[in-house]
Amino acid sequence: MMNRPVVKAELVDWMREKQTPVQGDLETVLNFAQENNIPVIPHETVVYFQMLIQLIKPKRILEIGTAIGFSALMMAQAAPECEIVTIDRNQEMIELAKDNLSKFDKRKQITLLEGDAADLLSTLDGQYDLVFMDSAKSKYVDFLPFALNLLSENGVILMDDIFQAGEILIPIMEIKRNQRALERGLRRLFDEVLNNPKFLTSILPLGDGLLMIKPNKV
């Protein structure tokens, strides 16, 4: 989330000011998000994705959590030959995303699937070189087996907002009751993948935390 970084505010400002801003259509979508207080990935995460996509050259990307389509459009711009499938269940966000994709997905790279990822993931086929989750954090651990099954041989999984503004460090019973399900889900995820020889993992202090997962084939 843009307004919950755990890195010092001065450093966050510096990263966002010094790195090339988004322009053109992406800037239009970003401005709408900011004016309407709609969370999208922050600029330091955008820049990381742009570089990562240039490096791995994905042919297919799966995104869980479309929101208004900003990140899907950003990835499409970074990989103009790539097919992108994005999933969302929030009808208000879906309508905004449809509008943005109709205007700005000029190469028709992006397919928006409407519904719950828990239902839709099992219906997908083929392999994806990048799976990006930016949806219900409590469900990341449940989505993980599907993502692994859909992942190409050298593919990677990225999960956003895993720090929860530092709440992952707080004992679960000290967290607000309505946030505990989310926190329990994240902690189950950490138990599953961190320090597990089946996976290579990297936690990046970008935005509210980004977790990268790759099956360990060694």
Q: Where are the domains of the chain?
A: 9-215
Confidence at residue 4, expressed as pLDDT on a 0 to 100 scale: 65
DSSP conformation class of 22: P
Longest dimension (CA), the chain: 49
pLDDT of residue 7: 74
Contact of 105 with 38, CB cutoff 8 Å: no
Binding residues: 41, 71, 88, 116-117, 134
In CATH, what class is 9-215? alpha beta
H/E element, 156: strand 151-160
Cα–Cα distance measured from residue 171 to residue 107, given in angstroms and rounded to the nearest whole number:
47
- pLDDT computed for residue 165 by the predictor: 85
Q: Give me the tens of pLDDT residue by residue for the chain, a chain 218 residues long.
A: 456 666 788 988 999 899 999 999 999 999 999 999 999 999 999 999 999 999 999 999 999 999 999 999 999 999 999 999 999 999 999 999 999 999 999 999 999 999 999 999 999 999 999 999 999 999 999 999 999 999 999 999 999 999 988 888 898 899 889 889 999 999 999 999 999 999 999 999 999 999 999 999 87
pTM above 0.75, yes or no: yes
pLDDT of residue 218: 72
**What is the helix, strand, coil percentage profile of the chain, to 5?**
50, 20, 30
Task: Give dist(CA 148, CA 151) in Å, integer.
Answer: 5
Q: Tell me, what's the pLDDT at 1?
A: 47
Known binding site for S-adenosyl-L-methionine: residues?
Answer: 41, 71, 88, 116-117, 134
